[in-house]
C-alpha cells in the first residue's frame, strides 16, 4: 500500500529517516533541485494546503525550510537515519504516526510531477 506524501513525511520524521526530494525551484519553476531532507513537521494554511518542514541534510545550520509539495517532482523515503536536532518538532507528529499505523507500512516513491501522485 502506498503512502501519501504527507504520511511519508510523518513516517520519516518520527523514524528519523531522510527523504530524498526532487523539486522545481518555486521562483523560476524551471530549475530542478535535488536534496536530502530531514523531515520535522507538517503545517497547513487556512485552505488546508500543506507545507512540509525540514532541514537540508547537507546544511542543517540554515534552519527549518518550508517546502510546498506542489513543486515536488519526486519524494522517496530513504533508509538513511539521522539524529534530530534539539528543539525539533517531530514529536508533534507521533499521534498521526500511531493513528495511521505507519510503523507497519512502507513507502513507495511518490511522483508528483504535474501535480499527480502515482
| pTM for the predicted model, two decimal places | 0.86
Residue 79 pLDDT > 60? yes
Instruction: Specify the pLDDT at position 33.
Output: 82
Residue 73 to residues 28, 98, 103, 110: CA-CA distances in angstroms?
Answer: 15, 28, 25, 8
Instruction: Locate the domains of the chain by residue range.
Output: 5-115
User: Greater confidence, 17 or 59?
Assistant: 17
Residue 26 to residues 23, 46, 90, 116: CA-CA distances in angstroms?
Answer: 8, 20, 25, 17
- Tell me the C-alpha distance between 61 and 78, whole Å: 21
Q: 22-55: per-residue pLDDT in tens? A: 988 777 766 678 899 999 999 999 999 999 999 9
Question: What are 22's three cell numbers?
Answer: 526532487
Amino acid at each position: 500500500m502506498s503512502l501519501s506524501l504527507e504520511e511519508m513525511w510523518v513516517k520519516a520524521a518520527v523514524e528519523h529517516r531522510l527523504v530524498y526530494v526532487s523539486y522545481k525551484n518555486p521562483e523560476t519553476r524551471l530549475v530542478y533541485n535535488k536534496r536530502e531532507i530531514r523531515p520535522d513537521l507538517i503545517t497547513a494554511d487556512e485552505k488546508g494546503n500543506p507545507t512540509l518542514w525540514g532541514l537540508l541534510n547537507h546544511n542543517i545550520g540554515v534552519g527549518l525550510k518550508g517546502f510546498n509539495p506542489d513543486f515536488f517532482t519526486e519524494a522517496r523515503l530513504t533508509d538513511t537515519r539521522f539524529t534530530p536536532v534539539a528543539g525539533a518538532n517531530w514529536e508533534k507528529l507521533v499521534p498521526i504516526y500511531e493513528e495511521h499505523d505507519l510503523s507497519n507500512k512502507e513507502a513507495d516513491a511518490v511522483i508528483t510531477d504535474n501535480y499527480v501522485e502515482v
